[in-house]
Structure 1
Amino acid sequence: MYPRLVGLLLLILSFKQRVYCLQLSNCNNTEVTLLRDTEFLTSLTLSNCSLPHLENAFFVRFDHLLHLELQYSGLSDLDDFSLNGLSKLQSLSLCHNNLSTLRSWSSEPLGALTNLDLSHNGFRKLRAKSFQLYPQLQTLDLQGNQISQIEEDSFNGLSHLKHLHLNGNKLQHIDGNFFRGLHRLSSLTLHHNLIKGIEMESFESNTHLRSLRLDQNLLTSLQFLSQRGLARLVHLNLSNNLVQKLEPLGFSKNFELQDLDLSYNNLTNLSKEALSGLDSLERLNISHNQVEVLDTESLGTLVALLQIDLSSNRLTTLPEKLFDANTQLEEIILANNQIRQLSSEMLFNQNHLRYIELAGNALDDADFLQKLSPSLNRLSLYVDLSSNRLNSVGLSSLLHFRYLNLADNNWSCAWLVENLVRKLPASVNFVRPWRVINDWSENITNIEGIDCTEGGSNRSIILLDVSKVPQEKTDNCECVPTYDESNPSPPPLTWPKIPTDRFDSRSVIIWMLVAIAMAFAGLRWLRSFVDRNEKRKLGTKELNNMCVSKIQWQPVRNDHERS
């Protein structure tokens, strides 16, 4: 028994000594250098420490490290060979420090390093061959710095790089040689910079690029998109720029593009060939522009389109055949425009619609909803017509939608009351929340209300469910309705009030029970008394009978016997 316990204790102690992952916070240089048994460490995280400077061969004892994180530690300088000895290192993070000069920090290549995070530091410039000692690097994060210059061949030797993050810097121009040689680059983020122009050959060698973010910049022209290097691009974000016009055939080389975001620009129209060549496009966002005119065939080549967002523009009308070629559409968002009318045949060919957003327009009829495709599944259709100018709609054909929002319209009061009397399904919404002061509470209460018009004047209908309103109950409450002289309607009929005393009903019940108990007790005593009397009489009678019988049966002696 004892040898087993000793062996188990030794095993626990041996595991206790072999620490593979270590996390330290609020440490300093001395504490890190005094760490013992570092030959077993594979992961080391130093966070919120005081490490402003790292000397040469600082990590030479950590030769088995695979992951090293040194963040939020005020690190401002590393000697030229601070990372010596980390030949097996795969992931290195020096983010959220004060580094300003980028060097390789090693005398030998870190051949196993695939992930390098230098984000949120103070780098201002990338020098040539800054990363030549990291030949296997696949992810490089430089976001959140102050980089304004990138020298030629700065990324030289990174033939395996797939993900490059340069967002949140101060780049103003993209030269044609910045990303040359990055043949395997898959995603590139350049958003939140100051980019005004991009040279035509900037992405010529990046033939594997799938995702490109250029939002939050100062671009006015998109001519660089016509180069061949972006033929395999799938996701392109150009929102929050200064683009005023889409050149004809500008996207003709982006054969595989599926997501295109052009929101928050200065576009005024969409011409016939502006989106030509985007046969694979599935999601198009042109919201928050100044588009006033859409060409009838502007969406004609987008045969795979699933979602289109044209909200927050200046559209007043839409061509009747605008969506004829887009038979796969699932979502149409046209909110916050100035659309007055839609053709009744506009959506007839749409068999896959699930969402129609038309809130915040000037529609005065909804006839287009009466002529939807017979093959459309209405049970899954969401329609928002709130904040328009509708007076009435044909509800009979709209009751089976998944959701129908009709709040904030110019309803006719007569039509509205007539339909509110009906029991409408919960999927039909007429009302919007109001806040009013009511008689049931001193606080402001949320209720539901509807605006309507009658005879040229505005009315409001408040919907209240009185059964849900909490009422204060008091013992002395005399719930007698009062007559309001300002209300012309007569008070409701009530039964005359019968005067009653205020004797406690509970006491009445108790005294009644006591009286019943006493009555039963009296009856029981009376019965026992009668029974005792009857028994006494029967006993006396039996005694008399016994004496008589004894006298009668007594033998009589004759004279001979007497003598």
Structure 2
Amino acid sequence: MNLRMLAPLLWLFMLHCVALTARPLSLSNCSKTDLTDLNETISALSLRNCSIERLDNAFFLRYTQLLSLELNDCGLIELDDFALHGLPLLQTLSLAYNNLTVVKSWSNEPLAALGTLDLRHNAIGALNEKSFDRYPQLQHLNLAANLIEQIEAGIFHGLTHLRHLNLGRNRLQVIDGSMFDGLHRLSTLSLHYNAIGLVEPDAFQSNTHLRTLRLEGNRLESVQFLRERGLSRLVSLNLSHNLLKQLPHFSFSKNYELQHLDISRNSLCELTNDSLAGLESLERLNLSHNTLSHMEEHSLAPLTSLLQLDISANLLTNLSSALFHSNRLLQYLNLSHNKLKVMESQLLEHLAQLTNLQLAHNKLDSVDWLQHLPSALNRQALSVDLSSNRLHSVDQSILNGFKLINLADNPWDCNWLIKNMLRTSPASINFARSWPTISAETESVLNIEGFDCFDGQKNLSIVLLDVSIVRKQSDVASSCEHATDEGNLTPPPLTWPKIRTDRFDSRSVIIWMLVAIALVFAALRWARRHVDRKDKQKNYRQATNHCNNAK
């Protein structure tokens, strides 16, 4: 084995020895003078909330064993050109949450071991071609939350090992073809929350190993750049919070390895049969908070590996019965906050792996379609949320056997509801919703359950009160404010939540219940006093007899 092959092994051995003999140190609320007497063998130095506006040349020259250096939130404004000179073993450098305006090497020799550089939350406005020329092994670079408006060609040319680059929350407007040229090993690129309105077609042409791309929170109106071969290995893509109005045919035809796609919070109004073509590997798709009013019958057909689908908060009024027929692996489906009036009986007949179905806040008036779920589906593993729809009555036999059926906040028919309340429903079926109440004793907020129902033109509420639960909640809330008197056997005064309601029927029920409970407590008090009186008389007679015997 020659010396060239032994060199990396010797380097790793040296780092391991340093890590064993050196020790870490953390300081906060310190000053520059506090750093002059530190032990020279420290391996990691972390300074937070200190007062250090400037670092002089060779400031850390004595700490030759330093592997990690953090100066976060220290008020740093400037580092001299060679402030980091003499740190050949430094692997991690963090200067986050300061006021730096430029990026330099800050050393007259390459920082050959540096793999992570964190410069987020500074005031960096521009980068130059020498900013990173002495970081040959850099793999993680974080420049998020700065003032960068553009990046000139060649800035990152020397960073051939860079894998993760974060430029989120800056002021970039255009991503051109030369910006990331040469970053052949780049795996994660974050460009979220800039002002990007244009991504040129060849912007990522040389980034053939890119796996994660974040573009949420920008001003994109087109995804034309996705058709280029540079993004063929992309696994995760976030396009949420942009200005997309449509997805042209075959927009994702080159992204055949994509598994996670987020296009939520845009302005998409339609999904065509070819909008998602090519996404055979996609597992998670988020289309929520758009303006989708129409999805063509086979628009989801290419997504044969889909596990999770979110189409909530759109304007859908109906769905084609064959829409999900190709998504046989689907486990999570969210259709809540739409305007669906009918669920076709064939719509879910192929979803045998479904475990979570969200349909809250629609306009459904029937649950008969639940009878047409696939026979291979494990109903005991399926949760269905049908709250806040337009259900007046249901056949409870259809609802049996599920893990959970949430039916709260529906306009139930009062006659039907009262009849069904006389029978004990399975624990998996929930009709009630929670009412916040205020305790008269502690003024804390408690929760009770009840139902809304309609009897002709009247809007009624039925409140369910469990005395033990309400009392227990009240006692827990007041335990920190009142000491318990164990010697006082007199029952505590009756208190009850103040229920905020103006409905006569609900108030009448509660008043009569309070009267009945008050009578019971009054009877208990009378019985206790009667027993105490008998005990006193008995004790008096015994004392009298004792005195007579003594005479």
What band does the TM-score fall into relative to the shorter chain?
Answer: 0.7 to 0.9
Cα distance, 1:513 vs structure 2: 6.7
Partners of 1:357 and 1:407 in 2: how far apart?
13
Can you list the C-alpha shifts for 1:40-80, whole angstroms capped at 9, x where unaligned? 22222222222222222222222221111122222111222
Partners of 2:98 and 2:288 in 1: how far apart?
38
1:27 maps to what in 2?
30
1:206 maps to what in 2?
207
Partners of 2:98 and 2:441 in 1: how far apart?
59
Go from structure 1 to structure 2 and tell me whether the alpha carbon gap of 1:321 and 1:73 turns closer, same or farther (over 3 Å shift). Answer: same
Asked whether the equivalents of residues 104 and 130 of structure 2 are also in contact (C-alpha less than 8 Å), the reply is: no
Residue 306 of structure 2 is aligned to residue 316 of structure 1: no
Partners of 2:137 and 2:186 in 1: how far apart?
13
Can you list the C-alpha shifts for 1:267-287, whole angstroms capped at 9, x where unaligned? 001000000000000110000
Can you list the C-alpha shifts for 1:434-471, whole angstroms capped at 9, x where unaligned? 24689999987642221112234322222223455659
1:137 maps to what in 2?
138
Can you list the C-alpha shifts for 1:157-206, whole angstroms capped at 9, x where unaligned? 11100000111111111011111111111101110111111001111111
1:233 maps to what in 2?
234
Partners of 1:42 and 1:403 in 2: how far apart?
54
Can you list the C-alpha shifts for 1:280-312, whole angstroms capped at 9, x where unaligned? 001100000000000000000100001110000
Asked whether the equivalents of residues 129 and 153 of structure 1 are also in contact (C-alpha less than 8 Å), the reply is: no
Go from structure 1 to structure 2 and tell me whether the alpha carbon gap of 1:410 and 1:37 turns closer, same or farther (over 3 Å shift). Answer: closer
Partners of 1:288 and 1:374 in 2: how far apart?
33
Partners of 1:45 and 1:211 in 2: how far apart?
30
Partners of 1:333 and 1:75 in 2: how far apart?
48
1:539 maps to what in 2?
none
Partners of 2:461 and 2:331 in 1: how far apart?
36
Cα distance, 1:19 vs structure 2: 6.2
Can you list the C-alpha shifts for 1:311-332, whole angstroms capped at 9, x where unaligned? 0000000101100000001011
AA paired with 1:90?
Answer: Q
2:62 maps to what in 1?
61
Q: Unpaired segments of 5 or more residues in structure 1? A: 1-17, 478-485, 523-563
TM-score normalised by structure 1 residue count: 0.81
Residue 401 of structure 2 is aligned to residue 372 of structure 1: no
Go from structure 1 to structure 2 and tell me whether the alpha carbon gap of 1:513 and 1:303 turns closer, same or farther (over 3 Å shift). Answer: farther
AA paired with 1:274?
Answer: S
* Comparing 312-321 and 414-423, the one that deviates more: 414-423
Percent identity of equivalent pairs: 48
1:150 partner SS: coil
AA paired with 1:330?
Answer: Q
Can you list the C-alpha shifts for 1:87-124, whole angstroms capped at 9, x where unaligned? 11111111111110222211111111111111111110
Aligned 1:374-453 pairs, distance under 5 A: 374-435=375-436, 446-453=447-454
1:172 maps to what in 2?
173
Residue 251 of structure 2 is aligned to residue 250 of structure 1: yes
Can you list the C-alpha shifts for 1:495-550, whole angstroms capped at 9, x where unaligned? xx9x999681212444677799999x99xxxxxxxxxxxxxxxxxxxxxxxxxxxx
Q: Unpaired segments of 5 or more residues in structure 2? A: 1-20, 476-488, 494-507
Aligned 1:70-89 pairs, distance under 5 A: 70-89=71-90
Figure out how many residues of one structure are paired with residues of the other and give that number.
Answer: 488
1:308 partner SS: strand
Say which one has the larger Rg. Answer: 1
2:371 partner SS: helix
2:221 maps to what in 1?
220
Partners of 2:299 and 2:442 in 1: how far apart?
57
1:30 partner SS: helix
2:326 maps to what in 1?
325
Go from structure 1 to structure 2 and tell me whether the alpha carbon gap of 1:53 and 1:441 turns closer, same or farther (over 3 Å shift). Answer: closer
2:168 partner SS: coil
2:434 partner SS: strand
Partners of 1:20 and 1:299 in 2: how far apart?
56
Partners of 1:276 and 1:398 in 2: how far apart?
37
Asked whether the equivalents of residues 129 and 156 of structure 1 are also in contact (C-alpha less than 8 Å), the reply is: no
TM-score normalised by structure 2 residue count: 0.82
Partners of 1:441 and 1:29 in 2: how far apart?
52
Cα distance, 1:81 vs structure 2: 1.6
1:300 maps to what in 2?
301
2:71 partner SS: strand
1:43 partner SS: strand
Asked whether the equivalents of residues 390 and 409 of structure 1 are also in contact (C-alpha less than 8 Å), the reply is: yes
2:303 partner SS: coil
Partners of 2:26 and 2:237 in 1: how far apart?
39
Aligned 1:317-356 pairs, distance under 5 A: 317-356=318-357
RMSD: 3.1
